[in-house]
A and B are shown apart, each in its own frame.
Chain A
Amino acid sequence: MNEKIISIAQTFISKTPEKEAYLKNFFHLLHGFDQDSQKKLLLLIKVLNVFSNLRYFKPINRISEIKRNKLLHAIYNAPISKLRGGVNGLRSLCLLAFYSMDENRASIGYKV
């Protein structure tokens, strides 16, 4: 799961986060959500992986950045509203996890 999260986050953020620290923050934030939302987000990652396997015969963390981006965009524009909303939810969490880390806040010019 961790590899999949990192690969998806990388596509959203367009940067390679420091893996361990990023995952720690990702799960710290995720655990602040209610049980239902946590389950849905983790399930979505699994669903995205299934789509990747079906389309590219490889798990989502083993396809190229370009293919992952295409896949995420395809789901983000899917006719099922809950899927579009789900991708946005995951996008938000990935971005929040990255930009709420001290070193990343500093790198974009935020000064405490």
Chain B
Amino acid sequence: MTQKLEKKYDVIIIGSGAGGGVVADILSQKGLKCLILESGAYRKAEHFNQKEKDMSAIYYNRGAVFSKNMHIALAATNAVGGSTSVYTGVSFRPPKDVLESWKTEHGLSFLSDDFVNDTLDYFDKDLSIHELPESAINQNNTYFKQAAEKLGMKVKKLKLNIDNCSGQGFCNLGCTINAKRGTLVVQLPRAIKNGAELVHHANADKIAENTVYFTVRKAKEGVFENSLESGSYVAHAHTIVLAAGVLHTPAILLRSAKLLTLKNPNIGRYLTIHPAFNLHAVNKDKISNYKGFPKAYYIDQFSDKEGYYLETSFYYPGITAKNIPCWGEQHAALMAQYDHMMSIIILSHDKALANNRITINKKGQPVIEYTVSAETKTSLVKAIRKAAEIFLEAGCIAFRVPASRQIIGLTERDRLKDLIHEKYLDFAQTPLSTAHPQGGCRMGISDKNSVVDDNGKFWGSKSIYIADASLFPTSVKVNPYETVMLLATHVANQILK
């Protein structure tokens, strides 16, 4: 039986990640009574143990939600704090050209320089966004920089949102000392202090105007007592904010089609994923890359013409093993040299296309329909070759990467073009990974080509807003969390009006 929550809320926020956490923070600071419904568990620093067999439970499907064609493995978090509880904290402001196109082509005129700069300056302080000091830069990053510069590339320093990081290495399994600044650590505790109520293990099933239907599961983990027993509930509020992320916000809307008498054909569409490959190579030197902060540098000089970024990275043993696209003796020999491994992530910019979308299956669960374009494929192969050049220049002696059929080493240096080739790239065998999905409920100024208006309000609705990465009209081309927080700030400001 569905129980009705008698308490009246000003706002119910669905999802506690980068978008939901920011909205909860802003609205509760202004005295609005907020209820945050989060379907994941509430884990804090003391629950993280840097072990992937335990911590992969933070993710949906252990970190790999596959697209229907199995070409994409999407990493998204199911936990209080959303993906900010496992993100690496790489902090990019949205590029000027992207903001310009969002203003001119999608009508988002609120993105004035003043609004953007003031908001992001605030996050710089609130989240301690800064460049790493030289003393904190580990070997992988140092080798990457030296090699890329020798090859004539321009290497830039990343900004990160960490505070007192002890360099444990694996940010993506949750930080055991709260060094990483995200909604789990910063915005949500503040919102709770200001009166917001958080219910974890609480899955929003459907919504209607001013109404959320949700199910609370029994909490297996988590420090906090849940304020609600397990069961089915309905709650009402003046405003409903959907911030369940790119995978789930469109799914909730599609599940609610009847209740909302939905006609908008754009829901779930124009999905972009910032397609990525994580590449690993064995260096002649021993490299303690699993210690220190994994990311310090990036290269964006190929962004405009060839459509990709390169960033340093590093991953724990199981994921590294999965990323090396072979098996048997060859694979074991590479893995045996884990303590000699360098790592680079390549990220390609994909276009927002209507056919790439989130839809739902018969059970109402999200399904990713995404076809990698020929343009993206070409860009990915170019990026892999570029990373290979850096590996070899940095002294790597062996690696196996997607789009190639063999181990590559120093003697293959002049043959990278032949050995790393589009004809060898099969996304079924080597699926792309994505941790940066965007779009699906794009913001705009006409219901003909968007899902919400430029205030974040769902077209045709009185009470429903969206405030997460699904708002992006196109790919922001860089790691997206700052842009999510920027748009969520705008939506919160509109709700306050």
Contact = CB atoms under 8 A, between A and B. Distances in A.
B260 interface: no
Given A81-B69, A82-B70, A108-B335, A95 B318 contact: yes
Interface string A13-35: 11100000000010011001110
A108 B282 CA distance: 12
A84 interface: yes
Given A25-B53, A99-B317, A110-B338, A81 B332 contact: no
Given A11-B327, A96-B52, A88 B428 contact: yes
Given A89-B66, A100-B53, A14 B331 contact: yes
Given A14-B331, A86-B70, A96-B322, 19 more contacts: A11-B327, A14-B332, A34-B365, A37-B66, A81-B69, A85-B70, A92-B64, A95-B327, A98-B321, A100-B53, A100-B316, A100-B318, A101-B53, A102-B51, A104-B317, A105-B316, A108-B317, A108-B335, A109-B339
Contact of A32 (B62, B290, B335): B62
A97 B337 CA distance: 18
Interface in B34-51: 50-51
B318 A99 contact: yes
Contacts of A89: 66, 70
B70 A81 contact: yes
Find the residue from A33, A69, A86, A96 having the highest chain B CB count within 10 A: A96
A47 B180 CA distance: 44
Contact of B56 (A11, A15, A29): A29
Given A88-B430, A108-B336, A99 B328 contact: no
A108 B333 CA distance: 10
Interface in A48-77: 69, 72, 76
Contact of B338 (A86, A96, A109): A109
A38 to B, nearest CB: 10
Interface of B: 50-53, 56-57, 60-62, 64, 66, 69-71, 288, 290, 316-322, 327-329, 331-332, 335-340, 365, 426, 428-431
B328 A69 contact: yes
A91 interface: yes
A93 B319 CA distance: 10
Contacts of B318: 95-100
A84 B320 CA distance: 20
A88 B62 contact: no
Contacts of A100: 51-53, 56, 316-318
B315 to A, nearest CB: 11
Contacts of B56: 29, 32, 96, 100
